[in-house]
Structure 1
Amino acid sequence: MATLTAPARPLAIGPLKLDTPVVLAPMAGITNTAFRRLCREFGAGLYVSEMITSRALVERTPESMRLIKHHESETTRSIQLYGVDPKTVSQAVSMLVDEDRADHIDLNFGCPVPKVTRKGGGAALPWKLDLFREIVEGAVNAAGAVPLTIKMRKGIDSDHLTYLEAGRIAEGAGVASIALHARTAAEFYSGHADWTAITKLKQTIGSVPVLGNGDIWSAADAIRMMDETGCDGVVVGRGCLGRPWLFGDLAAAFAGEERTAMPTLGEVADAFRRHAELLVEFFEDEDRGCRDIRKHVAWYFKGYPVGGELRAALATSDSLARIDELLAELDRSEPYPGEAAEGQRGRAGTPKQPVLPEHWLASRELGTAGRDEVSAAELHNSGG
């Protein structure tokens, strides 16, 4: 395993101190309480909720209120918010702070999916410098002593990059850290992340930590990113899908230990079963929890000799008892398959033309006329 050329220092995000400079990236439908608890059982870091829509939170929709709940074992409660209206975002932040529901709040400026960018949100929003500044400044003020951070992408596409200007604005507004997914919205999850952009952002931002995100599939990748870019920490997303033990690898690597998990098929099955159990507890519904674990089957068993029929059966199971029956069919002694279990996982696809509001790229300023349109465009559902 690669080791840092210099020992990793604890990552300070405002008053929060992380001995392992690792953050779990918010992923819609993935980073719920169940998955966060599982990852925490294997390693260390800051574990962030899936994205919550500010409007839905302010309106206290049942789903948004459920998604912001944390298990008592989650000692640092971290929530990511999305929004396009400065007032609504500030109200959502104030609610979390005033009601003592979060110890860390992150704002999403990186989501590339059409239902978000077509409203001017996610990765599209930093193009409007006045709107971005107003949202971030208002959120920081509303957060008070609770550290508020941002996560963003390089920009909309290669001709409309925003990350350096947005980084300077966020630093000036008083954010506690800045995370950069080194792709544009147009790249979606395709190709390779441009780590040189992380280097440029780190060289631009001097007073707050800069975190790198993109193509961290192993602890060695995280070490290499920090060595090559000089960033202060890493954000891990798709690389931990079906591999919660990656956080143990990361903790070991940053502690200077040459240790990498190579789980047998039995150990993978145990982690899968534990994940399903935690999902049932999270949803308070066995059928729903067992339905939710289905999307994780391919990620957990990637590279292992698990036949198509058994995989299909796991992906249609409707109870923990049925999952137990199916897992009992596995040869638990099967060793770690090496390269076959490594590498990219999760969505990748091809570059996509970003879906934006009409005339969005005509100006870097939203202006007064655009304020009402943005406010009306605030999404009413959580996730994304």
Structure 2
Amino acid sequence: MTATLTTPALRIGPYAVDPPVVLAPMAGITNVAFRQLCQEYGAGLYVCEMITARAVVERHPGTMHMMTFAEGERPRSMQLYGVDPKTMREAVKIVVGEGLADHVDANFGCPVAKVTRKGGGAALPFKRRLFADIVRASVEAAEPAGVPFTVKFRVGIDDEHHTYLDAGRIAEAEGASAVALHARTAAQRYSGQADWSRISRLKEAVTGIPVLGNGDIFTASDALRMMAQTGCDGVVVGRGCLGRPWLFGELEAAFAGRPVPEGPNLGEVARVLRRHADLLVRHDGVDKAMRDLRKHMAWYFMGFPVGSSLRRRFAMVSAPDELDELIGQLDHDAPFPADALGPRGRQGSPGKVTLPHGWLDDPDDPCVPEGADLMHSGG
């Protein structure tokens, strides 16, 4: 399949996104180091790990450090999480007023229990009026500066409570510049298969702004297939790039109709890993960088012939010199394994979504859920 697409080029506000590929914000993953690494392979829109709106308003030092972009990173894209229209408005005002980002996205896709039990994340779009209030307040804060505001959400809470079509229509009506759908319910978490037919239905319902698809894009051919099957305007890539930042080079080639490069051998993967370490050290210092890097090891080495003892040592690495010594023990000529192109990262099992008492009683209740502005993982 080639990528001679007849659909218009993806635009998010004033920004052309070519190829039409977005790096999904992933908590603890898409910091400035990982984004820079991915950008070295191909163009697209690379979103900062999720930032809590309340922490922006309170100017939490750790949060302000997370809101770091590389020199030359344009557009600077940031995802905010919030449940209160007033807090989101104020956070967006700070972000755009102080020139901290060029694009703001909102997270309504988090399926984590400690978030949904407070009415946040993937639970919130069920409350249609509250959802509309948040989008409207955010757009009003971003619009004067010409900063596009976009929204990401899931199919719904579970199979009995789908919210995505209402959420898409509301976001469009309230002035959002694009919407993105992770084609799973909150109850699915990351398990099973994403239902791409939901992306098709959202594209039919939302006609005035771009609709992006997310879920189960692990190869460049997956991205082309999603766009061909659903008619979506672009793709959002999350877990598929874990330990594979070169996926964005493969995506760029595929969308340009060029041959997709073969996967790197283990020596090249080791070089990428070392580059990742350098970028993390530059951002966070040696100790935090090495701790952060450990979680990436299993993803980088997925399917490669790396013995269990050496894998354990990589997973406990504490210094760049130690990393170099371990890299020297790898078989640099080992080819990229064909069985390493599938799912990676968290999957888990489906389960009942924890919600506040009476949450499902009135979808038009505009009240702000109490205590939902938490620091947490994105979705």
Q: TM-score, normalised by structure 2?
A: 0.97
Deviations 1:178-229 (A, max 9, x none): 0000000000000000000000000111110000000000000000000000
Given the alignment of the two structures, is residue 106 of structure 1 paired with residue 105 of structure 2, yes or no? yes
**What amino acid is the match of 1:352?**
G
TM-superposition CA deviations, 1:288-340 (whole Å, max 9, x none): 101110001110011111111111101101001100000011111111222x2
- Equivalent in the alignment of 1:141: 140
**Pairwise CA distance, 1:383:** 4.6
Runs of 4+ in 1 over 4 A off after TM superposition: none
Question: Match for 1:50: what amino acid?
Answer: E
C-alpha distance in 1 between matches for 2:270 and 2:7: 33
Task: Give yes or no for contact 2:115–2:372 (8 Å, CA) kept in 1.
Answer: no
Answer whether contact 2:21 2:237 (CA < 8 A) is retained. Answer: yes
SS in 2 for 1:268: helix
- The answer to whether 1:377 aligns with 2:371 is yes
Q: Does 1:132 align with 2:131?
A: yes
Q: Point out the structure with the larger helix share.
A: 1
Instruction: Tell me the residue number matched to 1:164.
Output: 165
Instruction: Give the aligned partner of residue 219 of structure 1.
Output: 220
How big is the shift at 1:377?
Answer: 1.2
**1:263 matched residue in structure 2:** 264
Q: Aligned partners of 2:374, 2:226: CA distance in 1, in Å? A: 37
Q: Per-residue CA shift, 1:338-383, capped at 9, x if unaligned?
A: 2x2210000111102111111101110224xx33xx2x41425365
Contact 1:4–1:227 (Cα < 8 Å) also in 2: no
Distance 1:213 1:82 in 2: 18
Answer yes or no: is the 8 Å Cα contact 1:104–1:147 preserved in 2.
yes
| Matched residue type, 1:381 | M
Counterpart in the other structure of 2:34: 35
State the 1:276 CA deviation. Answer: 1.3
Name the structure 1 match of 2:364. Answer: 365
Q: Secondary structure at the match of 1:35?
A: helix
The answer to whether the Cα contact below 8 Å between 1:3 and 1:220 also exists between their aligned partners in 2 is no
Q: Deviations over 1:230-281 (max 9, x none)?
A: 0000000000000000000000010011223310100001111111111111
Q: Does 1:303 align with 2:303?
A: yes
**Larger deviation, residues 86-95 vs 71-80:** 71-80
In structure 2, give the amino acid aligned to 1:287: D
The CA distance in 1 between the partners of 2:236 and 2:149, in whole Å, is: 16
Q: CA deviation at 1:81?
A: 0.2
Using the TM superposition, give the Cα deviation of residue 9 of structure 1 relative to its aligned residue in structure 2, in angstroms: 4.1
SS of alignment partner, residue 178 of structure 1? strand
Q: TM-score, normalised by structure 1?
A: 0.96
State the SS of the aligned residue for 2:75.
coil
CA-to-aligned-CA distance 1:62-114 (integer Å, 9 cap, x gap):
11101112111312110000011110001000000100001000000111111
Amino acid at match of 1:247: F
Report sequence identity in percent: 57
2:293 is aligned to 293
Q: Which stretch shifts more, 257-266 or 228-237?
A: 257-266
Find the aligned partners of 2:262 and 2:358 in 1 and give their Cα distance. Answer: 50
- SS at 1:211's partner residue? strand
Tell me which amino acid in the other structure corresponds to 1:87: K
The answer for unaligned runs of 5 or more in structure 1 is: none
Cα distance in 2 between the residues matched to 1:381 and 1:162: 24
Q: How far apart, in 2, do the equivalents of 1:104 and 1:382 lie? A: 21
Aligned partners of 1:8 and 1:254 also within 8 Å:
no
Give yes or no for contact 2:4–2:257 (8 Å, CA) kept in 1. no
SS at match of 1:50: coil
Change (3 A) 1:215 1:341: same
> Is the Cα–Cα contact under 8 Å of residues 9 and 19 in structure 1 kept in the other structure?
no
Judging changes above 3 Å, is the alpha-carbon distance between structure 1 residues 7 and 300 closer, same or farther for their aligned structure 2 residues?
Answer: farther
Q: Size of the alignment, in residue pairs?
A: 376
- Distance of 1:60 and 1:232 partners within structure 2: 35
C-alpha deviation, 1:6, in angstroms: 3.0
Given residue 251 of structure 2, which amino acid in structure 1 is its aligned partner? Answer: L
CA distance in 2, matches of 1:115, 1:44: 35
- 1-structure distance, mates of 2:374, 2:221: 40
Aligned-residue Cα RMSD (Å) equals 1.2
Q: Contact 2:4–2:255 (CA<8 Å) still a contact in 1?
A: no
- How far 1:165 moved relative to its partner? 0.6
Cα distance in 2 between the residues matched to 1:197 and 1:380: 29
Map 1:1-384 onto structure 2 (within 5 A). 2-4=1-3, 6-7=5-6, 9-144=8-143, 145-283=146-284, 285-338=285-338, 340-367=339-366, 370-371=367-368, 374=369, 376-381=370-375, 383-384=377-378
Q: Which letter maps to 1:304?
A: F
